[in-house]
Amino acid sequence: MKNFVVKTIANAGALAVAIWLIGNITLEGGSTGRKALTLILVALIFGLVNFLVKPVVQLLTFPLFILTLGLITLVVNALMLMLTSWLAGVFDLSFHVEGFWTAVLGGLIISVVSWALNVVLPDEN
């Protein structure tokens, strides 16, 4: 359970950095508390998308992974971020990613920040 909370916090932090750095990734809302709650909910959706959908997409794109020497991972991460944005819209959360190239850059930033946070944060079950 603790590992789940740590990963969710790392996802929320990585999403917050992407929102802060990229103007076309937006998180809107009223108060700071409302934005924080929305960010945590989006981080949960992002975690579920990465847990459930991403392995299937990676399996289907394995030949492209070999052909592009792993660069297709940037596209897969962008698609997962765009799917998270769409699902956030379905759940009426004010998180939006505008465009594919914004999602590619956002996915790259989220991957780097999430990796760094997972190195720093404790990893216990």
Q: Summarize pLDDT for 9-62 with one digit per residue, the tens.
A: 888 999 999 999 998 999 987 788 888 999 999 999 999 998 899 889 989 989
Average pLDDT over residues 85-96: 92
Phi-psi domain of 92 (left: phi exceeds 0; alpha: psi -120 through 50; beta: other): left
Average pLDDT over every residue of 67-75: 89
Helix (H) or strand (E) holding 27: strand 25-27
- Residue 29: the pLDDT is 75
pLDDT of residue 22: 93
- Residue 101: closest CA among 69, 77, 70, 84: 77
What pTM was estimated for this model as a whole? 0.87
Residue position matching structure tokens 């930033």: 109
With left for phi above 0 and alpha for psi between -120 and 50, is residue 38 left, alpha or beta? alpha
Which pLDDT score is estimated for 124? 64
Cβ atoms of 10 and 46 closer than 8 Å:
no
